[in-house]
């Protein structure tokens, strides 16, 4: 039996995604700590299958400003990955990377866009590499696109672009600990359905 | 504001004066306001995709422009609205991400706008105002007292139509 939409994923599938999330977040924490030149730990990520409307609530409401970095997946897997960072995390990243404090994240300079794009690239790359390593599939990621806008406006885009097999997305919430501060980042994984089946098969999961 | 009704994603709500409707954070989705000024009855729809796939009876009707709008118009007619008096105002259909390679990615907003216009054309409903395309998110308020559509965004502040 093949999965036709995300709401059919069961506990076992979620566990597999959690494992991918674990390894991905571990790699991401290492990269982040190198980039920021400070220790970054991560808490075990929470993996959920959410409605888009629940996902924007998880980010603080539909009109909350967030930074989203989006890539298209290619190679053996098709789909979209989006990394969403909240305002507070954006501020600490920009401070650590560029040494500037930014009160308002809805207007960014070229340099700031470029720095955030690089962070997104590294974080998404860490996840993609962990999926590739576990599944033995080849995964390519496109050049990232960065947008700052209302959370709700950004969240519907991947689902709509994928033809909205359902209004659900795979939502991986990571908490990173750095200098006694907890910062949340969220990875959204939106594989096309054929790729999701391929991925589960490659991981040896009976569907 | 008294009686502000929230319209979710893939959702439609209809109300009458002095009711007001709101749908938050449209990206590539489109908010469609339909209004009968004689009765001061207004409806707001939030569609996500252009066309409802065939042979897919389980799919939500309000998710697609071509299936949502005819049902919405029938509901308004059932409340006494006249098709000839109905006017439409639309907002949304942005391209939220500028993806480098020129794949099909990113044109869903434009396809939504085209499908909404085609469907409204088939229903013989004129579009009085539109705030579509570009690259930013929009929240849409629709007031049945005046038929005013108010669009809020980070990029452009507030605009009335």
Q: Is the Cβ pair A150, B139 closer than 8 Å?
A: yes
A137 occurs within a structural domain: yes
User: Quick one: which H or E segment has residue A55?
Assistant: helix A52-58
Output the pLDDT for position B132: 97
Q: How sure is the predictor about A130, in pLDDT bands with cuts at 50, 70 and 90?
A: confident
- Mean pLDDT, chain B, rounded, equals 92
Q: State the Cα–Cα distance between residues B36 and B76, nearest whole angstrom.
A: 9
Output the pLDDT for position A167: 66
Q: State the Cα–Cα distance between residues A71 and B124, nearest whole angstrom.
A: 40
Enter the tokens of residue A54.
């629940």
**How many folded domains does chain B comprise?**
1
| A143 DSSP assignment | P
Output the pLDDT for position A95: 82
Contacts with A123 (C-beta within 8 Å, 6 or more apart), sequence order: A28, A31, A32, A69, A83, A185, A187
B122 occurs within a structural domain: yes
**How many folded domains does chain A comprise?**
1
Q: Is the Cβ pair B101, A143 closer than 8 Å?
A: yes
| CA-closest candidate to residue B15, choices B160, B161, B150, B142 | B142
B52 occurs within a structural domain: yes
- Give this prediction's pTM: 0.88
Backbone conformation region of residue B147, classed left if phi is above 0, alpha if psi is from -120 to 50, else beta: left
Q: State the Cα–Cα distance between residues B60 and A6, nearest whole angstrom.
A: 16
**% pLDDT > 90, chain B:** 81
| CA-closest candidate to residue A190, choices A163, A176, A122, A181 | A163
CB contacts < 8 A (A, B)? 96
B161 occurs within a structural domain: no
B146 occurs within a structural domain: yes
Chain A touched by B76 (CB under 8 Å): no
For range A24-47, the mean pLDDT:
81
CA distance A188 to chain B (A): 15
pLDDT value at A207 more than 60: no
Chain A CB contacts of B10 below 8 Å: 167
**Which position has the token pair 């571990």?**
A26
Q: Is the Cβ pair A56, B48 closer than 8 Å?
A: no
Burial class, B126, CB count within 10 angstroms (exposed 0-12 / middle 13-18 / buried 19+)? exposed
pLDDT value at B1 more than 60: no
Cross-strand pairs, A173: A46, A186
Q: What is the pLDDT of residues A142-199, one digit of tens each?
A: 889 999 999 999 988 887 877 666 667 788 887 777 666 777 778 888 888 888 888 8
Q: State the Cα–Cα distance between residues B90 and B161, nearest whole angstrom.
A: 10
Query: What is the span of the domain harbouring residue A77?
Result: 7-202
CATH number at residue B43: 3.30.1330.200
CATH number at residue A119: 3.40.1550.10
**B29 tagged catalytic:** yes
Q: What is the pLDDT of residues B7-31, one digit of tens each?
A: 998 999 999 999 999 999 999 999 9
CA distance A179 to chain B (A): 32
For range B77-100, the mean pLDDT:
93
pLDDT value at A7 more than 60: yes
Q: What is the ipTM of this complex?
A: 0.87
Query: What is the span of the domain harbouring residue B53?
Result: 4-156
Q: How sure is the predictor about B42, in pLDDT bands with cuts at 50, 70 and 90?
A: very high
A1 occurs within a structural domain: no
For range B120-142, the mean pLDDT:
96
A2 occurs within a structural domain: no
Q: Is the Cβ pair A157, B99 closer than 8 Å?
A: no
Q: Are B16 and B40 in contact (CB under 8 A)?
A: yes
Q: What is the pLDDT of residues A54-85, one digit of tens each?
A: 788 888 889 999 999 999 899 998 888 999 98
Q: State the Cα–Cα distance between residues A4 and A20, nearest whole angstrom.
A: 21
Q: How sure is the predictor about B33, in pLDDT bands with cuts at 50, 70 and 90?
A: very high
Peptide bond connecting A137 to the previous residue in cis, omega within 30 degrees of 0? no
B147 occurs within a structural domain: yes
């Amino acid at each position: 039996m093949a999965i036709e939409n995300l709401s059919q994923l069961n506990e076992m599938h979620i566990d597999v995604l959690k494992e991918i999330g674990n390894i991905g977040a571990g790699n991401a924490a290492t990269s982040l700590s190198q980039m920021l030149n400070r220790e970054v730990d991560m808490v075990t990520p929470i993996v959920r299958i959410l409605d888009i409307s629940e996902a924007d609530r998880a980010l603080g409401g539909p009109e909350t400003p967030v930074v989203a970095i989006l890539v298209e997946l290619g190679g053996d897997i098709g789909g979209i990955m989006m990394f969403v960072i909240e305002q507070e995390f954006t501020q600490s990243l920009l401070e650590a990377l560029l040494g500037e404090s930014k009160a308002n994240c809805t207007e960014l300079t070229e340099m700031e866009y470029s720095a955030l794009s690089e962070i997104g690239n590294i974080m998404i790359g860490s996840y993609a590499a962990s999926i590739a390593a576990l599944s033995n599939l080849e995964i390519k990621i496109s050049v990232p696109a960065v947008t700052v806008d209302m959370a709700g406006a950004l969240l519907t885009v991947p689902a709509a672009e994928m033809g909205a097999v359902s209004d659900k997305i795979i939502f991986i919430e990571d908490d990173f600990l750095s200098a006694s501060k907890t910062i949340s980042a969220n990875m959204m994984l939106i594989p096309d359905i054929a790729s999701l089946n391929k991925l589960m098969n490659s991981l040896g999961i009976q569907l | 504001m008294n009686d502000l009704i929230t319209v979710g994603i893939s959702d439609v709500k209809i109300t009458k004066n002095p009711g007001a409707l709101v749908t938050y954070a449209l990206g590539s989705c489109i908010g469609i306001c339909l209004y009968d000024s004689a009765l001061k009855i207004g409806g707001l729809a939030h569609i996500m995709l252009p066309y409802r796939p065939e042979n897919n009876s389980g799919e939500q009707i309000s998710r697609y422009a071509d299936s949502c709008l005819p049902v919405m118009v029938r509901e308004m007619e059932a409340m006494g609205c006249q098709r000839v008096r109905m006017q439409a105002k639309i907002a949304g259909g942005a391209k939220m991400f500028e993806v480098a390679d020129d794949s099909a990615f990113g044109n869903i907003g434009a396809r939504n706008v085209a499908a909404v216009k085609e469907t409204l054309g088939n229903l013989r409903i004129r579009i009085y105002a539109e705030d579509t395309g570009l690259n930013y998110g929009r929240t849409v308020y629709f007031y049945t007292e005046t038929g005013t559509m108010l669009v809020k965004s980070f990029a452009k502040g507030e605009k009335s139509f």
